[in-house]
Chains A and B, each alone.
Chain A
Amino acid sequence: MTTAVADPLPDTTTVTQQHGLELLRQMILIRRFEERCVELYSREKIRGFLHLYIGEEAVAVGAINALSPEDEVVATYREHGHALARGTPPGTVMAEMYGKATGCSHGHGGSMHLFDAGRRFFGGYAIVGGGLPIAVGLALADKMKDNRSITACFFGDGAVAEGEFHESLNLAALWKLPVLFLCENNLYAMGTHITRHQSQTDIALKAGGYGIPHDQVDGMDVLAVGAAVRHAAEGVRRGDGPCLLELQTYRFRAHSMYDPELYRSKEEVAHWRRRDPLMLFTARLRDAGLLSEADLAGIEHEVAVEIDRAVVFAEDAPLEPVADLLKDVYAGVP
């Protein structure tokens, strides 16, 4: 019988000061970066769809910091946090939001399609479930080439209803591919609550149907996420085959920028906000004596400066010439 990921998880209550402050810095960067995006969106500097990750920062930061730089990352259209956690410079992410030539996708992708091949960040996929087969293929390439890399594949609870989720889990398990499936369960497929889109709301359990080890993790606790991902990644890297973690989290903001939130109550949002991952982790570091007020102020200041620079970079960045409109449709002249 396939059960949850075997062995007790390592202790998640301790963290070195250096690592803890870095995780906090990344979470604050993502939060403040997106808050600035909201402002820039209202000023029409950023257009199109803008899906905010606010509330879910512990998932990307915890998970991506538990991977190696050689590992592949596949994400969704709500992927600003993942790109930033992977180390993509905030300036190139912001320039992408601005549709500029120096954006991380040359302005071709926008918010939903950030790419950074050098950091093995294989992008934001905006058709729900569409990234899973890609992740399976990246893992297949690693396995066939005897690489030790694994592919971390992020997707939401909404994707679990897609055929591509089931096809991909089956194929990855059948061929014992090194994929770590990371389900960011924020309880909503856009505006449809999980109880209204899943006959079985225990997502981790579904992996068991494919013989895939699985576990549920508190996605608001960055250390718990990190420990679970590190542990799962070890098995995947060892050649045990894929693993699925359900990271239980919550989106604090609207699905996209315009969303009257008719589908959930203010009380429910308030309830989850009491488990704000930044607040929880800040308190935890403080309680452990690893974070002073001056440290926190220093991080906030450093992040504010970094975001200011990113905005200036984006503002000053050139637009891709219209003459290059057809560039990169094919490698050369077709």
Chain B
Amino acid sequence: MKTTYREAARAALREALQGDPRVFLMGEDVGRYGGSYAVSHGLLEEFGPDRVRDTPLSESAFLGAGIGAALGGMRPIVEIMTVNFSLLALDQVVNNAATLRHMSGGQLSVPLVVRMATGGGRQLAAQHSHSLEGWYAHIPGIRVLAPATVADVRTMLGAALREPDPVFIFEHALLYPMEGEVDEHPGPADIRHAAVRRPGRDLSLISFGGSLPKIIEAADRLATDGISAEVIDLRSLRPLDIATVTASVERTHRALVVDEAWRTGSFAAEVSAQIMERCFYQLDAPVARVCSAEVPMPYAGHLEYAALPQTDGIVQTAREMCGRG
């Protein structure tokens, strides 16, 4: 059936709340307001204030409380309104959620799911446009997922709740109105593998989350030029399914990684390094990256557009890699 990314995310939450009495949702304005992006709209009425909890603006306290509740046998889903505000809870993520199993010698388990909106492109300027998935992917002890399709946002939550470790799900805010196909009663997603969204021969376009539609559009345009691009959706950033990536690059011999984060220290840098380590002798061109400009995100629409990866730039870089510059 056809639905939107937003509705699919809500259906996943509803299914999780229906399926397990230990599951509850908490975050800022998830209840009476219905969620900043209307993802949790109607859930308070359906499940009550005990299981759909509006929190104060205390990211560190309620994310930490999610960790504690998970230690105490619950299955919390914590919504951080946006990745930008998650910085206020980083201590709990880095020092507690990610460490407790190992630091306790395997005695403790933190089955926590954290969801948050991410990304730029809506003229929200320098404090509301971050793409920090790569920062989170740096941290051993947590899993990082980036659902880029309606089907993935529908099914990744259920899979995340089955994990005994903390899982962070990044939903690009521009994807919420996107329409797509999803089964009416889908099973939990495979969250261990990247997906080949479109097969191709001449180069691999590799990305995740909000940039997936851009690389698919780029692949369409390249096809009209006679360039066959394979589209790889990473889906999980930690752990990274590098095998799917290298298998693709071994077929196409060219890799272009697209990432909405700043280029320096980006997740694209990690993917690029791993391709170089594993596929150096199969490459017909240096691995290329299209990332955001190294600037705090400007408000003005034309400047923001120029700062973010766009299909034009992806197509242009891909053409150059294929000797069609």
Contact = CB atoms under 8 A, between A and B. Distances in A.
The contact size tier of chain A is: 35 or more
B228 interface: no
Interface stretch (A40-48, A128-136, A213-221, A249-257): A128-136
A138 B143 contact: no
Contacts of A138: 68-69, 71-72
Interface in B55-69: 55-56, 58, 60-69
Interface string A213-254: 000000000000000000000000000000000000000000
Contacts of A132: 61, 64
Contacts of A175: 53
B65 A137 contact: yes
B138 interface: no
A167 interface: yes
Nearest to B51: A144
A170 B130 CA distance: 29
Interface in B268-284: none
Contacts of B100: 123
B105 A328 contact: yes
B105 to A, nearest CB: 3
Q: Which of B63, B106, B143 has the most CB of A within 10 A?
A: B106
B105 A171 contact: no
Contacts of A137: 64-72, 76
B109 interface: yes
A133 B67 contact: yes
B200 interface: no
B97 to A, nearest CB: 10
Interface stretch (A59-67, A101-109, A260-268): A101-109
Contacts of A125: 95-96
Given A140-B68, A171-B65, A123 B60 contact: no
B58 A331 contact: no
B141 A329 contact: yes
Contacts of B164: 331
A82 B192 CA distance: 40
A145 B23 CA distance: 12
Interface string A308-334: 000000000000000000011111001
B68 A139 contact: yes
B65 A133 contact: yes
Interface string A8-45: 00000000000000000000000000000000000000
Contact of A140 (B72, B103, B165): B72
B108 A117 contact: yes
A117 B101 CA distance: 11
A72 B108 CA distance: 13
B120 to A, nearest CB: 27
26 contacts: A108-B102, A109-B103, A113-B103, A115-B105, A118-B107, A126-B95, A130-B64, A130-B91, A132-B64, A133-B64, A133-B68, A137-B71, A137-B76, A140-B74, A141-B71, A141-B72, A145-B72, A164-B61, A170-B61, A171-B55, A175-B53, A328-B101, A328-B102, A330-B165, A331-B109, A334-B143
8 closest A-B pairs by beta carbon, nearest first, are A137-B68, A133-B64, A141-B72, A106-B105, A167-B61, A137-B65, A167-B58, A115-B104
